Amino acid sequence: MNRAFAAELYVNAIAVAQEAARRYAELADRAAQQGNCTAATLFRSLAQNDERRLAVLRRESAGLELPLLEADHSWHTEGFGAAGDALEIALRAEKAARAFFEQAARTAADPAARTLALEMAAEECAHAALIAGLK
């Protein structure tokens, strides 16, 4: 696999997973406070999933020199309040991450990098489907 492309892919995947784990934990706490046990359970599960994914990504990228992150993978949480807002914010973030990794897959020069990007895109797609199921 092209090491430079892989490093770029990993630095972005790590940023996506870090932000998602942090935000899902926040959303889980807020949903629990609002008495929405279903959303709280889903968000907590997604936070844990992203924490595990983050550990895997860090382990897989340990031998690479990761570049500085150039993209912004922050979740935009302005106006966040009701449970519906939380679902919309999470869904928007998952769709943006999926689009990023799909674009990476389209531009990947070698099959291994393309496979890695497609795996990440599929994971984001699965998360989006779970969230959409609560809407």
Residue 17 has pLDDT above 90, yes or no: yes
* Structure confidence at residue 2 (pLDDT): 85
Among 92, 74, 91, 78, residue whose Cα is nearest residue 39: 91
Indicate the residue type of 83: A
* Structure confidence at residue 82 (pLDDT): 57
Return the CATH number at 89.
1.20.1260.10
Indicate the residue type of 84: G
Residue 38 CA neighbour count, 13 Å, CB half: 9
The structural domain count of the chain equals 1
Residue 126 has pLDDT above 90, yes or no: yes
Higher confidence at residue 13 or residue 82?
A: 13
Looking at the chain, how many residues does it have?
135
Cβ atoms of 94 and 100 closer than 8 Å: no
Reported pTM: 0.91
Cβ atoms of 11 and 67 closer than 8 Å: yes
Tell me what the pLDDT averaged over the chain comes to. Answer: 91
Domain span holding position 62: 3-66+74-132
* Structure confidence at residue 110 (pLDDT): 84
Cβ atoms of 60 and 6 closer than 8 Å: no
**Percent of the chain predicted with pLDDT > 90:** 75
pLDDT in tens, 39-96: 899 999 999 999 999 999 999 999 999 999 999 999 987 666 655 688 888 999 999 9
28-37 average pLDDT score: 90
Q: Which two tokens stand for residue 5?
A: 């492309």
Query: 69 Cβ partners below 8 Å, 6+ apart?
Result: 11, 12, 15
Chain centroid, CA 113 distance in Å: 18
Instruction: Determine the Cα–Cα distance for residues 125 and 131; give it in Å rounded to an integer.
Output: 10
